[in-house]
A and B are shown apart, each in its own frame.
Chain A
């Protein structure tokens, strides 16, 4: 037996967070970054993604099912912790708490974001183009909702990458764990820039 169901679920949860969800996140933010080159560049990139062969298979198995599993099981994990940063204000304990908080924020954000874009487009209520995102993000409330959502997602991914390295036994020594902490801080800053820069382009142009 390879461990019980709980053990296997935790392993799958940890794996899915990086492969494919983490890879998808980077790809998604990169394609969206085309917006900084103007509406036409964004529309071309978006239409290329939209016209990929067997797109529904890709969407279901690389995006929707992994996110659903990771999100739902993640809520269960988040609610089994009793946070104690007031007595144990160590860096990793803060990260532990923020990982769970950002997970919940990210889930709410993604649910809304998928509803507003992918589902709306699928139901024919909206069309995938630069103007769709522009109309959403020029509203100040939604602009800040997206900024918080994107930063929470990038934090959750970067810090998740750190715990992924520990959970799969890649980083065992404190030294290697510290090294990966610095690496994931750089990852966080880099992809946060990519995401937020795109949001600013949609909201304020150029």
Chain B
């Protein structure tokens, strides 16, 4: 095996949220089975760029290193994905890394995904079980339903679907596919269903379901294989029904 084989990285860097981005090239010694994160760790160990100049170590976010936390998402060769599961052997060189610019860049490859967590709060992506007294056990969930609901619960808020979506951008306030899928998840839960109407009314407002233009990049990009377009279409149906109920009236409301 050639011992001085190297891997070329072209990394889009940014020193602070306000400064302009710039590109920097790195030649990193190849090791077997390396992933993008181990290459970035190599840059951190020896922060010297391809011109042999000493530079600052590239900054990025990471946590679980097994594709369940979503923190290390970045744009790798044009596609957003987790850098922990991006194996160097499977990538075309030079490997281009860039931050997911749908989100505010904090530094280099790290972005601030707060907007996703704000969206989850807006749509009440939780099951309300707290009360001033013991509410007792909730209704049971059918096993068949639990199985598909579990698929939706795999969402790790990584931001890949927002980055891939042509309608999540600076000109639109669409909150993105991830939160819509959580609306479906919590509306399908027997206890969560008690707030179904409330969640639907929220996504019938600003940044809601109507921001979806059915480009379907989300479902193609989701690293967890979540059926996002099925969730979006399901929320489309539920909001259509909710509109009729709230305008024409139903036995659910006064």
Listed in ascending order, the chain A residues whose CB lies under 8 Å from chain B are: 1-4, 6-7, 10-11, 77, 79-84, 86-88, 90, 92-93, 95-97, 99, 162-163, 166-174, 177
Question: Are A87 and B79 also in contact (CB < 8 A) when A3-B239, A10-B210 are?
Answer: yes
- CA distance in complex: A1, B220 (Å): 35
Q: How far is the CB of B150 from chain A (nearest CB, A)?
A: 18
Residues on A with beta carbons closer than 8 Å to the beta carbon of B216:
90, 92-93, 96
A3→B205 contact, CB < 8 A: yes
B236→A82 contact, CB < 8 A: no
Q: How far is the CB of B211 from chain A (nearest CB, A)?
A: 8
Give chain B interface residues in 159-173, CB to chain A under 8 Å: 164, 166-167, 169-172
- CA distance in complex: A187, B7 (Å): 50
A90→B201 contact, CB < 8 A: no
A174→B237 contact, CB < 8 A: no
Can you list the 3 inter-chain pairs with the closest CB atoms, starting with the nearest?
A169-B237, A3-B204, A96-B215
A6→B210 contact, CB < 8 A: yes
A169→B233 contact, CB < 8 A: yes
Q: How far is the CB of B220 from chain A (nearest CB, A)?
A: 5
Closest Cβ neighbor of A163 among chain B residues = B214
Residues on A with beta carbons closer than 8 Å to the beta carbon of B204:
2-4, 7
- List 10 other contacts, CB 8 Å, given A3-B239, A10-B210, A11-B210: A1-B201, A2-B242, A3-B204, A3-B205, A90-B215, A90-B217, A162-B214, A166-B214, A169-B239, A172-B237
* A167 CB contact (under 8 Å) in B205, B215, B236, B247: B236
Give chain B interface residues in 211-244, CB to chain A under 8 Å: 213-217, 220-221, 227, 229-230, 232-234, 236-243
A-B contact count (CB 8 A): 113
Q: How far is the CB of A39 from chain B (nearest CB, A)?
A: 43
Q: Is B118 an interface residue (CB 8 A)?
A: no
- CA distance in complex: A163, B215 (Å): 10
Q: How far is the CB of B107 from chain A (nearest CB, A)?
A: 23
Residues on A with beta carbons closer than 8 Å to the beta carbon of B201:
1, 3
A1→B237 contact, CB < 8 A: no
Q: Is B208 an interface residue (CB 8 A)?
A: yes
B217→A88 contact, CB < 8 A: yes
Tally of contact residues, B, Cβ under 8 A: 39
Q: How far is the CB of A178 from chain B (nearest CB, A)?
A: 11
A2→B166 contact, CB < 8 A: no
Give chain B interface residues in 169-190, CB to chain A under 8 Å: 169-172
Closest Cβ neighbor of A81 among chain B residues = B166
Q: Is B78 an interface residue (CB 8 A)?
A: yes
B237→A96 contact, CB < 8 A: no
Residues on A with beta carbons closer than 8 Å to the beta carbon of B166:
81-84, 88, 93, 96-97
- CA distance in complex: A151, B164 (Å): 29
Residues on B with beta carbons closer than 8 Å to the beta carbon of A90:
215-217, 220
- CA distance in complex: A170, B238 (Å): 11
Question: Are A82 and B171 also in contact (CB < 8 A) when A10-B210, A93-B166, A166-B236 are?
Answer: yes
B240→A168 contact, CB < 8 A: yes
Q: How far is the CB of A123 from chain B (nearest CB, A)?
A: 39
Q: How far is the CB of A11 from chain B (nearest CB, A)?
A: 7
Q: Is B55 an interface residue (CB 8 A)?
A: no
Q: How far is the CB of B89 from chain A (nearest CB, A)?
A: 22
- CA distance in complex: A80, B172 (Å): 6
A93→B230 contact, CB < 8 A: no
Closest Cβ neighbor of B171 among chain A residues = A80
A7→B208 contact, CB < 8 A: yes
B205→A4 contact, CB < 8 A: yes
Q: Is B23 an interface residue (CB 8 A)?
A: no
Question: Are A82 and B240 also in contact (CB < 8 A) when A3-B201, A96-B214, A169-B233 are?
Answer: no
B236→A169 contact, CB < 8 A: yes
